[in-house]
Structure 1
Amino acid sequence: MTAFKQKFFFVFPIGFSVNFNIDYGKMRMYWAFISQDKLVKEKI
């Protein structure tokens, strides 16, 4: 899915740049949440 979006990002940089950035931000927040959850579980 990432490669597919990157292709569209290069073909239509203006139209898809906003959606790409939003998806990337959600993914970063999601992984930050998971890593925090793992750290908490390891400490307990």
Structure 2
Amino acid sequence: MEINARLNTNIGQNGIQVSRQDMKTLNIVLDEFHGEWNYKLIFSI
């Protein structure tokens, strides 16, 4: 296994809320083990 990591020093906005409608459009796949913590966002191009 090889892991690459890089520190992101960019400052982003805090407190942004995503609407329920926008959340429904995301293709989120929960993992069998602790799906509340482990999940994937599946993007289609």
Bigger relative contact order, structure 1 or 2 (CA pairs below 8 A, ≥6 apart): 2
- Structure with more of its chain in helix, by fraction: 1
TM-score (normalizing by structure 2) = 0.18
- Structure with more of its chain in strand, by fraction: 2
TM-score (normalizing by structure 1) = 0.18
Find the structure with the greater CA-based Rg: 1
